[in-house]
Structure 1
Amino acid sequence: MAVPQSPSGAANVARAWIGFALLIAAHFGVRPLISARVDVDFALIAILFSAVRMRPGLAAVTGFLVGLALDAMAPGSFGAHALALTLIGYGASWLKAVFFADHVGLTGLFVFLGKWVLDIALTLLTGVSSGISLVIALLVWSPLSAALTAAVAVLLLVMFRPLYRPQTL
């Protein structure tokens, strides 16, 4: 009886990069086509899924670089995405042992909280809302967007598990 062999470390790294690149491409290619008040943040999913494979410093650098790319398209609030995604990448990598087990429900909760924290940070850093519109944005639209992002992340995790999780036997 042949024992199935696990893929090499290089194969896992290649799959992780392919998954990351596909999510970033979806963020810049698909997301603008379906833009609405409640949208999916593919870049955040990419950072969270990759941060679980990295040390905190590298995850922070990844978040910073993706944030810079997002900030380049919004010069009025330059630096907000870079700061927020740096902190989220670092925190996700640091907390990976606690939250990012291979449990799909915990992954959905983690992505929901990550997206909500990102939206809160961006809203407060950019100062685009105030008064009742700030409250509505943070307590209605942001949680709905976080829920949609978490649902898409869970769907992607279930459908494309080899790209977003290391294979274990």
Structure 2
Amino acid sequence: MRAPKSTSGVGSAVRAWLGFSLLIAAQFGVRPLLAARASVDFAVIAVLFSAVRMRPGLAALTGFATGLALDALSPGSFGASALVLSLVAFGASWLKAVFFADHVALTGLFVFGAKWLFDIAMALLTGVGTGASLLVALLLWAPLSAALTAVVAVLLLVLFRPLYRPQSL
């Protein structure tokens, strides 16, 4: 039986940044084409997949920069995505040993929870609605969007393992 190959640090970092860049490109290029109430959030997947490879401070900085890029498109709520993605990335980096094992189902569950929390925080920070419309957004559309994002994240993890899990081949 062969021992698993280890990847070089530079090659691993290049593949991780390539995966991150492709997901951010999908956020700005593909997501608008799939505009729906429950849509895939490629930026959350990108931040989560990169945060598990970083220390919490650098992960929070990555989440902040990604959030600023998202906030540039919505000046009415500027800063909300940056704050929430910073917290999501920090939490993902801190909890990586618990949830981001090599188990695909746990990764999907973690992406689902992170995306749902992201949507809840964004709805509360930006004041999307009040009363019944807020409840429908938080209890119907946010979990559907989180589930769709988790399914896409698991598919990406399975299909493109070298990009999103460069530590193991």
Under TM normalisation by the shorter chain, which class is it? over 0.9
Task: State yes or no: 1:150 paired with 2:136.
Answer: no
- Please give the per-residue CA displacement for 1:54-85, whole angstroms capped at 9, x wherever unaligned: 00000000000000010010000011100000
> 2:49 matched to which residue of 1?
49
Scaled by the length of structure 2, what TM-score is found?
0.96
Cα pair distance change 1:131/1:13, threshold 3 Å? same
Distance 1:42 1:104 in 2: 18
SS in 2 for 1:54: coil
Distance 1:2 1:39 in 2: 42
Residues 162 and 168 of structure 2 are in contact (CA less than 8 Å); yes or no, is this contact kept in structure 1?
no
Distance 1:65 1:44 in 2: 12
- Please give the per-residue CA displacement for 1:112-147, whole angstroms capped at 9, x wherever unaligned: 000000000000000021000000000000000000
TM-superposed deviation, 1:6: 2.4
Amino acid at match of 2:122: L
Query: Once the two structures are aligned, what percentage of the paired residues are identical?
Result: 73
Distance 1:11 1:46 in 2: 18
Distance 1:96 1:167 in 2: 14
Cα pair distance change 1:4/1:140, threshold 3 Å? closer
Scaled by the length of structure 1, what TM-score is found?
0.96
Distance 1:137 1:10 in 2: 42
TM-superposed deviation, 1:168: 2.9
Distance 1:66 1:118 in 2: 13
Distance 2:122 2:57 in 1: 22
Amino acid at match of 2:98: V
Alignment of 1:19-168 (within 5 A): 19-168=19-168
TM-superposed deviation, 1:166: 2.6
For structure 1, the 5+ residue unaligned runs are none
- Please give the per-residue CA displacement for 1:86-118, whole angstroms capped at 9, x wherever unaligned: 000000000000010010000000000000000
Distance 1:3 1:115 in 2: 36
Distance 1:4 1:48 in 2: 25
Distance 2:2 2:132 in 1: 64
Q: CA RMSD in A?
A: 1.5
Residues 7 and 168 of structure 2 are in contact (CA less than 8 Å); yes or no, is this contact kept in structure 1?
no
Cα pair distance change 1:36/1:9, threshold 3 Å? same
Give the number of equivalent residue pairs. Answer: 169
